[in-house]
Amino acid sequence: MGNRYFEVLERASSFLEKQGKEGYSILFVFLERKGWTKTHWLLHMKEEVLPEDEQQIAEDLKKLVANYPPQYLLGYSGFYGQRFLVNEHTLIPRPETEELVERCLKENLNEHLTVVDVGTGTGVIGISLKLARPNWQVTAVDISKEALKIAQKNAKRLAVDMHFKNGNGLQPMNDTKIDILISNPPYISNDEWHLMDESVRIFEPKTALFAENDGLAIYQQLAKEAKKILKPNGKIYLEIGFQQGQAVKQLFQQTFPQKQVEVAQDLSGNDRMVIVSSKKEEG
């Protein structure tokens, strides 16, 4: 009898761990490719592995050992209950960004609001907001034409009707007044390069990761641009690097002295968001 599924995957997994990689990733990729749930796995794991499956596992293993992200291997990633196409032109969506979406939805109802998602990448933020708040008019902006192609494909697959604009920051909005600016911009400083996982450093797009001025350049740009087009009661939701809370807060507080600016933590307890909102009522 030939190799069985669980034997092949167990070997692949322990090989990855010996190389200091995440052992589970090969099983994750295999199950996703097969469309198998954990139940399917339990039913089939002792069957003899098909030659084409064994070949696919070997190919995937080679790439995982070279730090190639599982999401790029599969061509998609999960985010806020949906599946989004990803490729090397787009960042892989992170769970912390789901928390930014959650916060924005919790604080804003389904009324007619004009919302802009800057640096949309795969489109996850703008599309997730539009799915949950169909009355919002959502525009997604990205400087990368390749990223926008993926975002537009994702919107089409999820039957979402929204606008996409290619350009830098809020400039493509011209003078359209907006209710909400939301953004997960590039915010990693060049000094933090060595802190990044190798898979991120090698494979994810640099323009979506790094920013000048200690990672603050895009926030400085957005603060300046938002001042011109944010409505008086408008709000801003930003994802930030875990060391940037005070710097970004200060920047937006100076730009919007009348508004409340708050640094919020992610589920791991790291500073992860800066929220600019209308001043709370006194008393």
Is 245 a known ligand-binding residue? no
Is 121 a known ligand-binding residue? yes
Q: How far apart are CA 211 and CA 217, in angstroms?
A: 6
Is 93 a known ligand-binding residue? no
CA dihedral 12, 13, 15, 21 (to 10 degrees): 130
Is 69 a known ligand-binding residue? no
Is 205 a known ligand-binding residue? no
Q: How far apart are CA 90 and CA 122, in angstroms?
A: 6
Is 80 a known ligand-binding residue? no
Residue by residue, what is the 3-state secondary structure of 37-100? CHHHHHHHCCCECCHHHHHHHHHHHHHHHCCCCHHHHHCEEEECCEEEECCCCCCCCCHHHHHH
Is 191 a known ligand-binding residue? no
| Residue pair 112/92 in contact by the 8 Å Cβ criterion | no
| Tokens (6 digits) for 69 | 């992200």
Q: Where are the alpha helices (DSSP H) in the chain?
A: 5-18, 25-34, 38-44, 51-65, 70-74, 95-107, 124-132, 145-157, 198-203, 212-215, 217-229, 245-255
Q: How far apart are CA 58 and CA 64, in angstroms?
A: 10
Is 186 a known ligand-binding residue? yes
| Residue pair 76/85 in contact by the 8 Å Cβ criterion | yes
Write out the binding residues for substrate: 184-187
Write out the binding residues: 119-123, 142, 184-187
Write out the binding residues for S-adenosyl-L-methionine: 119-123, 142, 184
